[in-house]
Amino acid sequence: MNIDRRWLVLGPALLILGGCAAEGPVKPAELEQKIEAARTRADHGEIAAILEQQAQADMEAGERHRNLARAYERGWVWAGPKAGGVISARKGNQNQIAHCENLARIFQQAAAEDLSLAREHRKMAAGAKE
């Protein structure tokens, strides 16, 4: 099996990002074992399916964080009596909004990377033995 060297570098990084990004279909250590043992069409097909499931989980997590950012934009924040009580979300929730928007971007990027790697495993499956 001829593996492009970039996947030897990107693979572990994607496992870490995918594993941290969301609750996925398989633990990163289990996926790493599957990748190391992959020899057949079925092995690569299974890895591709796992990565596609992880991409879906990452997309959903990204959407949840986008919704949280919108909730912070619409919401109010309690500033305490010394600051005059309730203040507008536009002034008080900027850190939370930025945090959620950043996570949404990270999850979207992780999903794109998962799908890209899944496509590579589909190609490997097509060229692998039964």
pLDDT in the model for residue 36: 94
What phi and psi values does residue 84 have, to the nearest 5 degrees? 100, 15
Render pLDDT for 85-103 as a digit per residue (tens, 0 to 9).
665 556 667 888 999 999 9
Domain range summary for the chain, segments of one domain joined by +: 5-127
What phi and psi values does residue 26 have, to the nearest 5 degrees? -150, 150
CB 16 within 8 Å of CB 28:
yes
Kindly tell me if the per-residue pLDDT of 33 is higher than 90: yes
Q: Report which DSSP code applies to 39.
A: -
Kindly tell me if the per-residue pLDDT of 38 is higher than 60: yes
CB 38 within 8 Å of CB 47:
yes
- Scored b (16 or more CB within 10 A) or e, 73-92 reads eeeeeeeeeeeeeeeebeeb
Render pLDDT for 55-76 as a digit per residue (tens, 0 to 9).
999 999 999 999 999 888 887 6
Specify the pTM.
Answer: 0.69
Q: Which residues does 115 contact at the CB level (< 8 Å), separation at least 6? A: 51, 52, 55
